[in-house]
Amino acid sequence: MTLDQRDIGPDAATLTVDLGALVANWRMLGARAGTEAGAVVKADAYGIGIEPAVTALSSAGCRQFFVAHLSEGIRARKAAPDATVYVLNGMLPGSCGLYAEHGLSPVLGSHEELLEWASFRQTGATVRPAALHVDTAMNRLGLWPGEGRSLAREKAGVIAAAEIGLVMSHFASSEDEADPANARQIAAFAEIAAAFPGLPASLLNSSGHFLKGCPAYQLTRPGYALYGGNPTPGRPNPMQPVIGLEARIIQLREVEAGMQVGYNGRWTAKGKRRLATICLGYADGYPRNGSWTDTVTGGSAVVGGALCPFVGSVSMDLIILDVTDAPAGSAVRGAPVTLIGGPLDLEAVGAGAKTVGYEILTSLGRRYQRRYVGL
Ligand SMILES: *Cc1c(COP(=O)(O)O)cnc(C)c1O
């Protein structure tokens, strides 16, 4: 992805979203799995915007979407009128009517939910098939594996009444290939899938696509990797970058040894340094934990191709950079700097802010000028 400097807004930072790369990543994951890939578009499509993401993916042929909340499901449904939209968090008591009204499929994860959905269906309501979530490790959402298997045995019971269209489970640590929990979950889910013969099954999240010896079943559920996150941390990123974040330098100054910089003077110059202040801060979703103090390292930005460390606290609307080592002429008033992109991939930005790339993506601010490119 290349960023054209002329397209960067006059004041706010600019977030560039490459929808072509999003679609290429979705195709690559489906081809790799050798089965149908759905798309997880919860949390506003991990921050990039649910409407543009769903529109781009459904035009490319994606037919099954996953969101976390009912309200997200309603937005996804508008952008993809014919797709199946699963709501991962299931449904709160009394909300079956809203699922029917918007043609959404709840992911049912408890007996109470199953019974409520089954009895709602018996009122003659037109609903789409729901999914059944079986918890194979996390103790978070879903039926116990034993409960799932015994429900499968009672053919005319609540499962038939609820009209289940998909059985699924979720990995707890698939990004860590060496974690023995993966093999346990793979085995537990194989038993579940076998207990529901003929029912489509779904297990793989992004990193699951790269686990050796894991069947892909009939549908996969990638999220993070679609948006360019590395599903194989510690190894080269097989995905194309989808987002780029640029801000501008608004002021420059020189400081002398011993001068303190930023709120609470948490950074002290060790010598003569050239500093640049840029127009982006934690109110734009850049974590304050990216602050770089006398004792703790933090985030960086790319200026003229050089990696320049943050200086002091990340403020609400501003970050200060040490641009002493930036190439001559690159750190000038109005010049663009890159916060996400090039060497600063989502993993690097996450590490600099003591968090994960997932949180960097889903925290992307609402104040950016957003540019959708690539389609
Ligand atoms: C968020 C989520 C996914 C997607 O996970 P990624 O690691 O982002 O690919 C898949 N399935 C469930 C149940 C989820 O909650």
Q: pLDDT for 256-304, tens place per residue?
A: 999 999 999 999 999 999 999 999 999 999 999 999 999 999 999 999 9
Task: Decide: 73 and 50 in contact? Cβ < 8 Å.
Answer: no
Pocket test for ligand 1, best of 57, 169, 221 (most atoms within 8 A of CB): 221
Taking the CA of residue 224 as reference, the ligand 1 atom at the shortest distance is 8
What CATH code is assigned to 19-227?
3.20.20.10
pLDDT band, very low/low/confident/very high, at 68 (cuts 50, 70, 90): very high
Pocket test for ligand 1, best of 89, 170, 176, 232 (most atoms within 8 A of CB): 170
Cα 242 to middle of ligand 1, angstroms? 18
Does pTM surpass 0.85?
yes
Task: Decide: 219 and 185 in contact? Cβ < 8 Å.
Answer: no
User: In this predicted structure, what is the pLDDT of residue 2?
Assistant: 45
Taking the CA of residue 141 as reference, the ligand 1 atom at the shortest distance is 13
Dihedral sign from CA coordinates of 146, 150, 152, 158: negative
pLDDT beyond 90 at 358: yes
pLDDT band, very low/low/confident/very high, at 149 (cuts 50, 70, 90): confident
Mean pLDDT computed over 355-372: 94
Cα 72 to middle of ligand 1, angstroms? 15
Pocket test for ligand 1, best of 44, 48, 87, 88 (most atoms within 8 A of CB): 88
Q: Which residues line ligand 1 (CB under 6 A)?
A: 40, 42, 88, 170, 205-206, 221-225
Cα 205 to middle of ligand 1, angstroms? 5
Instruction: Tell me how far apart the alpha carbons of residues 368 and 247 are, in angstroms, rounded to a whole number.
Output: 9
Per-domain residue ranges for the chain?
19-227, 243-344
Instruction: Tell me how far apart the alpha carbons of residues 301 and 343 are, in angstroms, rounded to a whole number.
Output: 9
pLDDT band, very low/low/confident/very high, at 155 (cuts 50, 70, 90): low
Q: What homologous superfamily is domain 243-344 in, according to CATH? A: Lyase, Ornithine Decarboxylase; Chain A, domain 1 (2.40.37.10)
Question: Which residue's CA is minimally distant from atom 15 of ligand 1?
Answer: 88
Taking the CA of residue 225 as reference, the ligand 1 atom at the shortest distance is 9
Instruction: Tell me how far apart the alpha carbons of residues 64 and 220 are, in angstroms, rounded to a whole number.
Output: 9
Question: Which residue's CA is minimally distant from atom 6 of ligand 1?
Answer: 223
The SS3 call for residue 134 is strand
pLDDT digits (tens, 9 = 90+) for 326-354: 999 999 999 999 999 999 999 999 999 99
Instruction: Tell me how far apart the alpha carbons of residues 87 and 310 are, in angstroms, rounded to a whole number.
Output: 39
Q: Which of 35, 89, 94 is nearest to 66 (CA)?
A: 89
Cα 86 to middle of ligand 1, angstroms? 12
Instruction: Tell me how far apart the alpha carbons of residues 292 and 361 are, in angstroms, rounded to a whole number.
Output: 21
Taking the CA of residue 175 as reference, the ligand 1 atom at the shortest distance is 7
Instruction: Tell me how far apart the alpha carbons of residues 111 and 113 are, in angstroms, rounded to a whole number.
Output: 5
DSSP state letters, 258-288: T-EESGGG-EE-SS-EEEEEES--GGGT--G
Cα 223 to middle of ligand 1, angstroms? 6
Structure token digits, residue 110: 């408890």
Structure token digits, residue 36: 């149908």
DSSP state letters, 29-73: HHHHHTSEE-EE-HHHHHTT-HHHHHHHHHHTT--EEEESSHHHH
Task: Decide: 134 and 168 in contact? Cβ < 8 Å.
Answer: yes
**What is the set of active-site residues?**
42, 263
